[in-house]
């Protein structure tokens, strides 16, 4: 469903596509990426420790914000940890929608063209 209609909802705009991908990356992927890069490749000094703490806090807040929604739908709380994976999937589906529209003249499903 997302790969059929995502680019349609962005009004077939490559600028909006770029903004959408950038937003998903900054909000959902950037905190974890920065945190893991610092922990894996740098020695922790005070400044880098602050970066790790800020990014970890943003990740914890992101998970905390989604917990009421998961509780409402009766979904296990551990699925909140899948937010970064979900963001990657949404980015891929949105890009697929744009590629299908641009290269293959639109997305079709059940005889309808999007």
Asked if 87 and 24 touch (Cβ cutoff 8 Å), the reply is yes
- Quick: pLDDT tens for 74-101: 999 999 988 889 999 999 999 988 888 8
Is residue 108 over pLDDT 80?
A: no
What tens digit of pLDDT does each residue of 23-39 get? 999 988 999 898 889 88
Tell how far CA 69 is from the center of its chain. Answer: 17
What span, in angstroms and rounded, lies between the C-alpha atoms of 114 and 101? 8
Q: Which residues contact 37 (CB under 8 A, 6 or more apart)?
A: none
Task: Kindly give, in sequence order, each residue whose CB lies less than 8 Å from that of residue 96, ignoring residues fewer than 6 positions away.
Answer: 3
The pTM for the full model equals: 0.77
pLDDT beyond 70 at 69: yes
* Beta pairing partners, 112: 109
pLDDT, one tens digit per residue, over 38-49 is 888 888 888 888
Which percentage of the chain shows pLDDT scores above 90? 42
Domain ranges of the chain: 2-105
Q: Across residues 40-67, what is the average pLDDT? A: 89
């Amino acid at each position: 469903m997302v790969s059929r209609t995502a680019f349609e909802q962005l009004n077939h705009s490559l600028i909006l596509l770029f903004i959408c991908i950038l937003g998903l990356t900054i909000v959902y992927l950037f905190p974890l990426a920065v945190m893991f890069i610092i922990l894996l490749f740098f020695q922790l000094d005070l400044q880098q420790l602050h970066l790790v703490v800020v990014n970890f806090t943003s990740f914890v807040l992101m998970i905390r914000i989604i917990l009421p929604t998961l509780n409402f739908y009766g979904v296990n709380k551990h699925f909140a940890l899948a937010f970064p994976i979900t963001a990657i999937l949404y980015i891929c589906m949105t890009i697929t929608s744009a590629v299908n529209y641009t290269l293959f003249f639109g997305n079709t499903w059940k005889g309808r063209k999007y």
